[in-house]
Structure 1
Amino acid sequence: MKTIIASPHAPKAVGPYSQAVGAGGALYVSGQLPIDAASGKMAEGIEAQTRRSLTNLGHILREAGYDYSDVVKTTVLLQSIGD
C-alpha cells in the first residue's frame, strides 16, 4: 500500500506527480525546486537555491514523520557543474 505525502509548506507538485510517496516502509521524495511556497518565488543564486531546496525537502520529510537524519540517499542535479 502506498501513501501520498503533501506538505503545505513546500511548493505544490508541478505536473502529474506527488511531493512524496511512502511505500513499504520507505519514503520516495520528488525533486524539489528552490521555490518558496509562501511567495511562489524562486531563490536567486546557487547557495540560496540549495538552501531553499533542502528546506522544502525538510518540510516534506516532517509531513511524513521523518527528518534529515532518516535520509539514506540523495541525488543533486546542477545546471552547471561549476556550482
Structure 2
Amino acid sequence: MKQIIKTPNAPAPIGPYNQAIVANGFLYVSGQIAINPQNNELVLSSVEDETKQVMDNLSAILAEAEFSFEDIVKTTIFLSDMSLFPVVNEIYGSYFTGAFPARETIAVAGLPKNVNVEISVVATKA
C-alpha cells in the first residue's frame, strides 16, 4: 500500500506526480526545485538562495511525512553546470548532522523552468 504525501509548505507538483510517496517503509520524494510555496515564484537570485529553497522544500515534505534529513538514505542532485557543485555541496551538507546518505550528482542539459538545481531523495526509518 502507498500513501501520498502532500503539504502546502512545499511547491505543488507542476505535472502528473506527487510531492512524495511512502511505500513499504520508504519515502520517495520527487525532485524539488526552488519554487517558494508561499507565492509560487522561483527563487533564482543566487545559486545559494536557490539551493536553500530546494533544501527547505525537501525539509517541508520530510516533516509532513514525519521523516527527517537523518532518515535519508539516497539523494540525487541535478545541476545545470558542474561548476555549481562546490556551492550546492556546501549548502546541501549543512542540512545533515549525522551520517551522510548515498548520493550522485549529475550535470544535465536542462531542468524544469530552467533552474540550476533539482534534488530528489529516498528516506527510510528502517
TM over 0.5, shorter chain: yes
Among all aligned residue pairs of Structure 1 and Structure 2, give the percentage whose two residues are the same amino acid: 42
Partner of 1:30, secondary structure, is strand
In the alignment, residue 72 of structure 1 is paired with which amino acid?
V
Runs (4+) off by over 3 Å: none
| Long gaps (5+) in structure 2 | 85-126
Identify, as 1 or 2, the structure richer in strand. 2
CA distance in structure 1 between the partners assigned to 2:40 and 2:2 by the alignment: 29
What do the CA deviations read for 1:23-59 (whole angstroms, capped 9, x no partner)?
A: 0000000000101000111112211111000000000
Cross-structure match for 2:70: 69
In the alignment, residue 14 of structure 2 is paired with which amino acid?
V
Q: TM (normalized to structure 1)?
A: 0.97
Partner of 1:82, secondary structure, is helix
CA distance in structure 2 between the partners assigned to 1:27 and 1:59 by the alignment: 13
CA distance in structure 1 between the partners assigned to 2:7 and 2:75 by the alignment: 19
Higher relative contact order (CA 8 A, sep 6+): 2
Cross-structure match for 2:83: 82
| Long gaps (5+) in structure 1 | none
Aligned length: 83
Cross-structure match for 1:28: 28
RMSD between superposed Cα atoms in Å? 0.6
Partner of 1:72, secondary structure, is strand
Partner of 2:54, secondary structure, is helix
Cross-structure match for 2:18: 18
